[in-house]
Structure 1
């Protein structure tokens, strides 16, 4: 590195989507519009400006609906669901009606009023302590930018890039990320979160991405050659010939490994000493089944049922739920399908649900707490699940369980629903009941909970957030959020030990399950099943086939003694390269 200028350096940021990319910088800067600032109009112009705004809203609604459908087909239903929030903003009186009011009452231009209301709404949301609501600030900026483009008569379409482009931006919206072409090989942002919608879409599209680079991007110019390392979270600026050659060698090795993984993806994951580890898929709706099967999923480890509620303007009926559950169960035949009961509250409010305002909804009435407090809503889902059990190998897991009383209450409602169905002459099947271990208390009390359930599944996303007291959507402390932290791994070990004593399986369905580098550690901790996005299944299976139980246990024992997540990651990486 000697002799290089200040700009020719390594920029350190946050890894958001794995992979290596070499390309030319293309800055994606926000377009400055002269009319974005409030401009007063005459009384005679008000009606025309109102018409322009309503036309823009209608056009934006059509564009977003089309983008949602395209994203669902090409990327996945779960990723596409972000655009439901965008459509909701276009129907939100607090946003749309306020813009109309400013045009009519304050005689502002449509563009000026829309710009002002968008900024105020975004700033207000960003300042809220609630993670879900603060994250919606990026969504409203995305919607506002689309409206402003339409009001400025700009053509809103897919932005084209030259082959080998590395897109650099202050922030990437979900719309911008979903509309990227195959010519984009890497993404770098000044702000952003690795758990944000743009990062999730980038991972699904397999585009290496780093976020949170901050002011280090100030001197980065269009056309410069950079290397984006989405694993390490770095950007190397103007690497020399030897460095580029080394990166290309790493890319070739990754491509070879990926091809081998995909070829072997359909075969079961059996360790080198014959231990069977189930590798399942996380899905967000029946639309994700095809990708899960193609990726080599041996079942479903997490079927999120929230889509039924979030895509509806009413509480989903028993029949509507039965249809969705049956479709997934029949697609997987005898393979296990683990369906999670309704998990709303916290970051998943429903517009038609009467939910009390809470200062901290992530510590409030969410998931099983909400369901037990609203038994009529819960009974509808439980009845649908019992009837769906006729069509496959159904496992039901309850999220956010903290104590035995909650498990007993759920079992009692299941029994009540069985009695109702029997009295009505309805056919139904049997199912297995498990819990998600997401609250540290559940892991600490796993020995008490385990005898009351058929299986446990560890949700490492929330377990990490609650254990480390880190808001994973907060850019300022996101670097502290790491599921490989020894404290989280110790809770996983406690859960597995308790489950082993009563002979029940333990799975992991959080992001950690899809981290191939951590697969050996998880096996060593006692995990028997891993569930992840379909795109990660092949790599995890390949990793597992090289694992032996004794070495995995020795590794797990070792990392539990380490002092930080960084030391755990360093040890795991060193072992992988040995």
Structure 2
């Protein structure tokens, strides 16, 4: 039986709805296929279904064949025609790191080294460290293809089945570990989903039946599957190619009876040096023993960068060919702040790093007393020193640093690097956990801030010549209430659990604030009708566009607070891309044009009697904090590591007046 239909599932069969559709299909005995154009796929395989790239509004044909084909056809078509299908399914969000850039500690030379002999890389996680090298260079899978005799095929099939079962059990055991963080759980769950795909395993068995040995069969099927994922025009589906390859490697090693290099054996304080590190391996590593990470590959959204930043491990990525020099060293130095690695350590370099490490340790110890201090201006006004965070894993570090709440929670990190849009319930659980952790201090959640420069699984973004000036932030959200309203509903519900405040990104027009308020009222009315408890929250805006600065007085009448985002504000005021090293000199927050914009904003907020804060990187600069406080800012939000230092600066300023 077959039936043609139009897919109404919101954003189509991306990973989460695809998994739900496959689960539904497997509940029937009948075979199930989906036909899209000339492409026909087994609908009981999540891998195959995702590769079909079935999008919202696509015409498809569902085919069923078997004892319960009529019931299966009806249920599956009903799923495809329901926009909400698959939205409530579980799945762990993986926080992403802010964009890492290639930053040099000193002037470059043409041979890939800095003037002081360092190897240039990408600054992924700040800090300096010197330590012994722990080389993580897993051996390649060297196994010549072998054609099987007729009598060997059944035994080879059995070997493949046993090996698959072992890898599946290993994944399940890893997921059941109580100490596994949500971030790492999400990484391993993605791998477990692939190794559990019966269609892919059957392809491997088919190759064995043709007379190929199991290792060759696995490599052949995994290679084709990974290439197919990499070719998909969706960065988050394409990224699954790495996961497929990681699963294939584990399976091949099991077939060969070989053990891989394990990070569990890394000595405390060692610097992990690698060409690349598999997500499954790093997620299980004893991160408290890793002194630093140096990797040839990796970028801003790689798992290595995410984990390094989450755990405060100095990390330099993108070292490319320079990794060979580090591999051959016994001891190296890493400058994660500037993205430089050193394979040759002379006395001068050792002295500089030792001094920097000692200074950082002494400063950290001396600043510990400021964690519990509530800094005030001379007139007694409290200056709230809050934390910028992007995931629940960062709560403990922020609280330990003395954060007086959260001045910027990057909610987009719930969405990024995830295989679909998070449900209202998933968002609610995150926001309410955050609110309770910092109560009674305020937690300012920035609504979804994504766009052409930060693509998102589950949302089709247009091709834009200049995405920084395009369909992003509040602009995208207002155009997509189906995405925006679940977030607003989750925030209203979470406000019951603590002091939630909400700020809108990329505001450039008063109408954007008013339209958002109308949506909030719609959500409140819906929750009231459903009998769901909620509380209203204060609404503020990020001041990061020149337009917002110019209408700051008018905006101040519409909102409860301002939060100045100096990173984007600087690049927009100076018309200089902050990721472009050619114009790096213009991207300076201390430029008089930028400082005047900050002062104009502060004046408008103070005159209107609303709170004016700052959540850009400049908020943690002790050389600028006195100027910001003089302008009238009463809230500064920064990375947790900068909080004690900022508090000391404010106390010293007050004492001196």
TM-score interval (norm. to shorter): 0.7 to 0.9
Query: Aligned to 2:139, which of 31, 53, 67?
Result: 31
Residue 92 of structure 1: how far off its partner (Å): 5.4
1:53·1:151 contact (CA, 8 Å) conserved in 2?
Answer: yes
Q: Who is 1:170 aligned against?
A: 275
Contact 2:446–2:502 (CA under 8 A) maintained in structure 1? yes
Distance 1:229 1:291, change over 3 A: closer
Are 1:322 and 1:385, in contact at CA under 8 Å, matched by a contact in 2? yes
Aligned pairs, number: 527
Distance 1:146 1:465 in 2: 45
CA displacement, residues 501-536 of structure 1 (integer Å, 9 cap, x when unaligned): 143444444566567777668768875433344444
Greater Rg by CA: 2
Do the aligned partners of 1:344 and 1:366 also contact (CA within 8 Å) in 2?
Answer: yes
Q: How does 1:359-378 map to 2 (within 5 A)?
A: 359=463, 368-375=474-481, 378=484
Deviations 1:314-345 (A, max 9, x none): 86356x75555444334433311212334567
- Looking at structure 2, the residues matched to 284 and 88 of structure 1 have their Cα atoms a distance apart, in angstroms, of 21
User: What is aligned with 1:530?
Assistant: 636
Residue 303 of structure 2: which of 197, 201, 208 is its match? 197
Check if 1:87 corresponds to 2:189: yes
Q: Is the 8 A contact 1:38 1:113 kept in 2?
A: no
Which secondary structure state, in structure 2, belongs to the residue aligned with residue 34 of structure 1? coil
Deviations 1:117-160 (A, max 9, x none): 55566667778887656666655555554444444444565432
Query: Structure 1 residues 438, 114: closer, same or farther in 2, change over 3 A?
Result: farther
1:62 is aligned to 2:165: no
Equivalent residue for 2:265? Answer: 160
The 10-residue stretch of structure 1 (457-466 or 296-305) with the greater mean CA deviation from structure 2:
457-466
Q: How many angstroms does 1:265 deviate by?
A: 1.5
Structure 1: state its 5+ residue gaps. 1-5, 552-578
1:382 aligns with one of 488, 499, 512: 488
Report what 1:410 is aligned to: 516
Question: What is aligned with 2:130?
Answer: 22
Distance 1:327 1:214, change over 3 A: closer
1:455 alignment counterpart:
561
1:104 is aligned to 2:201: no
Q: 1:128-527 to 2 correspondence within 5 Å?
A: 141-155=245-259, 157-178=262-283, 179-193=285-299, 196-270=302-376, 276-284=382-390, 288-305=394-411, 316-317=423-424, 324-342=430-448, 347=454, 349=456, 355-356=459-460, 358-359=462-463, 368-375=474-481, 378-420=484-526, 428-437=534-543, 449-458=555-564, 468-469=576-577, 485-486=587-588, 494=597, 497-503=600-606, 504-509=610-615
Taking a change above 3 Å as real, the CA distance of residues 28 and 517 of structure 1, as seen in their structure-2 partners, is: farther
Asked whether the equivalents of residues 549 and 597 of structure 2 are also in contact (C-alpha less than 8 Å), the reply is: yes
**Is the 8 Å Cα contact of residues 126 and 336 (structure 2) preserved in structure 1?**
yes
Unaligned runs of 5+ residues in structure 2 are 1-110
Name whichever structure is richer in helix by fraction: 1
Residues in 2 aligned to 1:195 and 1:343: alpha-carbon distance in whole angstroms: 16
Q: Distance in 1 between matches of 2:344 and 2:175?
A: 40
Q: What CA deviation, in whole Å up to 9, does each residue of 1:83-125 have, x standing for no partner?
A: 5255335435998745642542585555445445555666677
Superposition RMSD in Å: 4.8
| 8 Å contact kept, 1:492–1:525 | no
Deviation per CA, 1:65-90: give whole Å up to 9, x if none: 357x6452xxxx5xx26x52553354
TM (norm. structure 1) is: 0.72
Q: Which residue of 2 aligns with 1:13?
A: 121
Pairwise CA distance, 1:386 = 3.2
For the residues of structure 1 that align with 2:644 and 2:514, how far apart are their CA atoms?
Answer: 38
Higher RCO structure (Cα 8 Å, ≥6 apart): 1
Partner of 1:554: none
Pick closer, same or farther for the CA change 1:98–1:424 going to 2, 3 Å: closer
Name the TM-score, length of structure 2 as normaliser: 0.65
Question: 1:447 touches 1:499 (CA, 8 Å); kept in 2?
Answer: no
Going from structure 1 to structure 2, the CA distance change for 1:188 and 1:464 (only over 3 Å counts) comes to farther
